[in-house]
Chains A and B, each alone.
Chain A
Amino acid sequence: MAANETANGPIGFSGSSEGVLTRALGGTLRFIRRKPLGAVAALVLIALFAVAISPSTFAPATFDEIDLLNRLQGPTLDHLFGSDKQGRDVLSRVLFGARTSVTIGFAAVSIAAVLSSIVGISSGYYGGKWDLTFQRFVDIVQAFPGLIFIIFLFSIFTATVPGSLASQIVLALTLGFLFSAGSSRVVRSQTISTVQNTYVEAARVVGATDNRIMLRHVFPNVFTVIIINISVQLGAVILIESALSFLGFGVQPPFPSWGRMLQEAQEDMKLHPYLALFPGLAIAVSVYALNMFGDALRDVLDPRLRGTE
């Protein structure tokens, strides 16, 4: 059973290093064969992450290089995506914007994953008053429309620590907090069904502590759900981050972000459509690839969906 489990996905836990490698390769090949669209999406994501890790290797200029003689140029060979009001190269800004979006996205979903695991597992495991308190709290968080919720938290925190980098950290924290509320529900329900298994009872009988049961028996069982949450939420985080930056409640200059570029394009876009076209395309393509890949991953990993194709 255990061997079968690991062979289904690229995640291997045991065996010699060579065994892990071949198994991972086998898993990847199987994934490509079963989910060709997911594999294409994965390629797009690899490109996106490469750009995000080192935008300067791909970008023809830096994101803040001002060239007032070449303002508002349409797409040319010098500036493939054109140049903006201050003569900055739009392509370079889009590429550097990838770093902003991907960093905030990953930071936020990691925070959400950790928070939701702690809250969801303990809430589902202990039940009772503890659970009830947490659930009411989650209700309150979820009652606020997401965008409004973040606008509030963001305004409160950025005033205490201003700056471009600080704004990104605040965004990641607040988005992580918001998204943890929804996914803690999923983790909780998965925990409740896991706890009913006899092996959890057996562990308790032999004297395992609550912490040990949660860590060694419940956590591995809800791990798949957590991974699925992460892959589904990454795209959503990037979308909402861009909307916030567009409204002015997101990433502050000088670092470029796609949402902010779209806001800056607002004024001139009727005469210079490329200013709004490329940053938006970057968002759409990234989120599309993330969703496609997340879908494929879910189909392969989700025990409830396994074998239903």
Chain B
Amino acid sequence: MLVPTILGVTFAVFIVVRLLPGDIIDQIISDQAEPTPEFRASVEERLELNQGVPQAFAEWLIALAQFDFGSSFVSGRPVTEQLTNRIPVTFQLGIMAMIYSIAIAIPIGVLSAIKQDSLIDYIMRSFAIAALAVPSFWAGQMAIVYGFAWFGWTPPLTYELFWENPLSNLKTTWVPAIILGSFLSGSVMRLTRSTMLEVMRQDYVRTARAKGLTDRLVVTRHALRNAVLPVITVIGLQVSVLISGTVVLERIFTLPGMGTLLLFSLERRDYPTVQAIVLLAAMLVLITNLLVDLSYAFIDPRIRYS
């Protein structure tokens, strides 16, 4: 199942990057006063762009199998080396956003379901829909504008890795992480509420109540455990949304992550770098989907034993 999809994805990435209008050679040549065909050929030769597409694709695949992403057209450095600086930034932002979103969404969703149609429920539901309606890049802009106007706060321009200077790192990342997390929490909150409502009507919940368990036990042990399955699916599906979100928020808060690098490399038509980032993103989505499927077995014993 996974293998043909991965092959399809690699092929799609490779072709799509080459379909982009213009290439790096045009940009290198445009610096030249009088570009000669010989010069063009020499650049083509150096970047190995003079091969046919099938041959280039085959070579790229073989290199990929050895975890070699090639060298950047722009800096000439290995893509892997560039990525090792960028990946932690994006991953940290993504993971912080996800933890924040789950930490607020599931308790609020459960609360909203238990107190169905109460004032709290209405407020929380409106909040969830609002979280889905506010574009995260605009929320970032508003944080910068009004954070400055009201609190004199500006996002720090320097970025330090978490393990080098945790405090300075968190100062830079907490605002974008909360913005992204709030956006993600909307759909998780809504789904938690609706599945909880469904589960709370089941017979085994009534049985649990009838045998005298406390509300707390009924909700956590019997209801939530059964309601959480579709919620996990949605959290898994959100990885794709999360990646799109980090691209935009990195731009707003000038974080040196993969999204910033992707936009930069895309502009320069730096094929190896763009291919590597898009492929990594796609793989991440596919792998989380697989993990989600596998996690069902851990949570739901019926699947484990069948």
Contact = CB atoms under 8 A, between A and B. Distances in A.
Interface in B109-159: 129-130, 132-135, 137-138, 141-142, 144-146, 148-149
Main secondary structure of the interface of B (DSSP, over half): helix
A206 interface: no
B229 interface: no
A124 B8 CA distance: 22
Contact of B285 (A145, A287, A308): A145
B12 interface: yes
Contacts of B286: 139, 143
A144 B132 contact: no
A283 B5 CA distance: 36
A308 B198 CA distance: 9
A235 B282 CA distance: 25
B21 to A, nearest CB: 3
B240 A142 contact: yes
B244 A280 contact: no
Given A159-B22, A239-B135, A273 B8 contact: no
B217 interface: no
A30 to B, nearest CB: 19
B58 interface: no
Interface string B1-41: 00011001100100011011110000000000000000000
B129 A295 contact: yes
B268 interface: no
Given A148-B278, A284-B134, A155 B266 contact: yes
Interface in A23-38: none
B135 A276 contact: no
Interface of B: 4-5, 8-9, 12, 16-17, 19-22, 129-130, 132-135, 137-138, 141-142, 144-146, 148-149, 198, 240-241, 243-244, 247-248, 251, 262-263, 266, 278, 281-282, 285-286
Sorted nearest first, the 3 A-B pairs with minimum C-beta distance are: A159-B21, A147-B244, A280-B138
28 contacts: A136-B4, A136-B5, A139-B286, A140-B8, A143-B5, A144-B9, A144-B12, A144-B240, A145-B241, A145-B247, A145-B285, A146-B240, A146-B244, A147-B248, A152-B16, A235-B132, A240-B244, A243-B135, A243-B244, A246-B137, A247-B251, A266-B141, A269-B144, A270-B148, A273-B145, A284-B135, A288-B130, A291-B133
Interface of A: 136-137, 139-140, 142-148, 151-153, 155-156, 159-160, 235, 239-240, 242-243, 246-247, 259, 262, 265-266, 269-270, 273, 276-277, 280, 283-285, 287-288, 291-292, 295, 308
